[in-house]
């Protein structure tokens, strides 16, 4: 069974254009994502899936320098890009990673893959009890192909796994909870504030040729809580929430996100930590 980690990356982010190539301790953010995914023990192949736009040729060049594969596909139809990447590289199992997660933890990625391999599921991810920025999804090629064939709505094509979440009657879905609720920890990069927070973490923890993990990050945040204040006003899953709004969908009534909205968004807006 071929397990392929597909890292989606483009320079045309609406919130922070060019972020995947922005510098963190002397290297592009995408370089760090690739380097950390390379530490996974359960991944057979890494592919960077980018777009056909001229600006994204720099992403292909970076993938080549990093000795990983790349694939060029649709910018807006990310589901189509993922499906065609998976098909091109004969993936039986897909690990979805996004290029705005420069602190992705390879041990957590391996844990999700192991869960998938040991259980009869079509799809498994990390729950919101993990920090945002450790987002990992693992699913079968068959599940991806079904979503690719049947998803029709624009937001379902913009977000790879939404159709799967919307159809639990079709797919066997699982989610891994963290032992402690860390949903208030934000280590993803969607804004300059996010980037500055991540840069602070790298400043203290990064050593060339070595890797650091979630427990190291948590210890640092405990020691230097000012880092969490840098991007504390950000909203989790903002990209998806924006897509739903464009489609005229009332988020609080959107079933796949209802638990998230109830538990996280309301508390965040009230200033309470989850």
| Mean pLDDT score, 61-65 | 98
Asked whether the whole model's pTM tops 0.95, one would answer no
What confidence tens digit (pLDDT) does each residue in 13-62 have? 877 999 999 999 999 999 999 999 999 999 999 999 999 999 999 999 99
Residue 99 and residue 66 in contact, taking contact as beta carbons nearer than 8 Å: no
Closest CA to 14 of 85, 60, 75, 89: 75
Better-predicted residue by pLDDT, 159 or 103:
103
The pLDDT value recorded for residue 240 is 52
Find the mean pLDDT for residues 249-270: 44
The answer to whether residue 255 scores a pLDDT higher than 90 is: no
pLDDT at 31: 98
Q: Which CATH architecture has domain 1-256?
A: Alpha-Beta Complex (3.90)
**Tell me: the pLDDT tens digits for 148-191?**
999 999 989 998 999 999 899 999 999 999 999 998 999 999 99
**pLDDT tier, 239 (very low <50, low <70, confident <90, very high otherwise):** low
Mean pLDDT of 204-215: 97
Confidence label for 192 from pLDDT (cuts 50, 70 and 90): very high
**Which residue ranges make up each domain of the chain?**
1-256
pLDDT at 13: 81
């Amino acid at each position: 069974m071929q397990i392929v980690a597909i890292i989606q990356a483009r320079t045309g982010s609406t919130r922070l254009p060019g972020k995947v190539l922005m510098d963190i301790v002397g290297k592009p953010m995408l370089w760090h994502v690739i380097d950390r995914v390379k530490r996974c023990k359960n991944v057979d192949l890494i592919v960077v899936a980018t777009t056909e736009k001229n600006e994204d040729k720099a992403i292909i060049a970076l993938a080549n320098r990093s000795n990983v594969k790349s694939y060029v596909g649709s910018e807006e139809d990310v589901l189509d890009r993922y499906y065609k990447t998976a098909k091109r590289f004969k993936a039986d199992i897909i690990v979805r990673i996004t290029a705005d997660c420069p602190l992705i933890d390879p041990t957590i990625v391996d844990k999700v893959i192991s869960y998938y391999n040991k259980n009869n599921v079509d799809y498994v991810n990390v729950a919101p009890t993990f920090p945002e920025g450790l987002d990992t999804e693992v699913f079968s090629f068959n599940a991806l192909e079904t979503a690719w064939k049947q998803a029709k709505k624009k937001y379902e094509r913009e977000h790879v796994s939404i159709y799967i979440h919307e159809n639990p009657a079709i797919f066997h879905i699982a989610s891994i909870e963290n032992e402690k609720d860390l949903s208030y920890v934000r280590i993803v990069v969607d804004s300059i504030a996010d980037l500055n927070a991540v840069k602070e973490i790298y400043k203290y923890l990064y050593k060339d040729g070595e890797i650091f993990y979630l427990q190291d990050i948590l210890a640092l945040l405990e020691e230097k809580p000012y880092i969490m204040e840098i991007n504390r006003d950000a909203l989790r899953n903002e990209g998806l929430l924006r897509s739903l709004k464009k489609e005229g969908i009332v988020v609080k009534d959107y079933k796949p996100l209802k638990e998230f909205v109830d538990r996280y968004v309301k508390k965040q807006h009230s200033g309470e930590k989850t």
